[in-house]
Amino acid sequence: MGRPMRKLLTTIFGAIFLAMLFLTVRASMVRPVWDNGSLMRDPWFVATLADAYFGFLTFSVWVAYKETGWVARVLWFIGIMLLGNFAMSAYVLRELWTLPEHATSAEQRIQAVLLRRASPE
């Protein structure tokens, strides 16, 4: 993953974060989140909500694999379950911004983003 790919991924995940921020603020100005109980009677709403949370859970499993400390695992899990794509895009941005300097080849950079961190000794 060279500089152009890193820049592209940063742009994509930054755009996701900003889009979610815009859409959430806009929706909250129309109706607060706790005022949506009637939507639970709509099967498509329930299916869409379940789909989103199963996606959050899937991403959380990867984060738990990647992080080495239990505190980080638990905090990221809570953040992802509460904030969804906000937290997920923030996690990916953090991973992109903290690529190790020693990762010079594309393979090393991809491994640094996707695979487990080295355990602190």
Contacts within 8 Å (CB) and 24+ apart, 20-25 = 20/84, 20/85, 20/86, 20/89, 21/86, 24/86
**Considering only CA atoms, which of 78, 76, 82, 56 is closest in space to residue 117?**
76
Residue 47 inside a domain? The answer is: yes
Model pLDDT for residues 29-76, shown as the tens digit of each residue: 998 877 878 888 899 989 999 999 999 999 999 999 999 999 999 999
Q: Does the pLDDT value for residue 8 go beyond 60?
A: yes
Q: Would 121 be classed as within a structural domain? A: no
Specify if 20 maps to a domain: yes
In a domain, 119, yes or no: no
* Range(s) of the domain holding residue 8: 3-34+42-114
68 found inside a domain: yes
- Asked if the structure places residue 82 within a domain, the reply is yes
Q: How many Cα atoms are found within 13 Å in the side-chain-facing hemisphere of 7?
A: 3
Chain segment 51-64, per-residue pLDDT in tens: 999 999 999 999 99
pLDDT at residue 120 in the model: 61
Domain count, the chain: 1
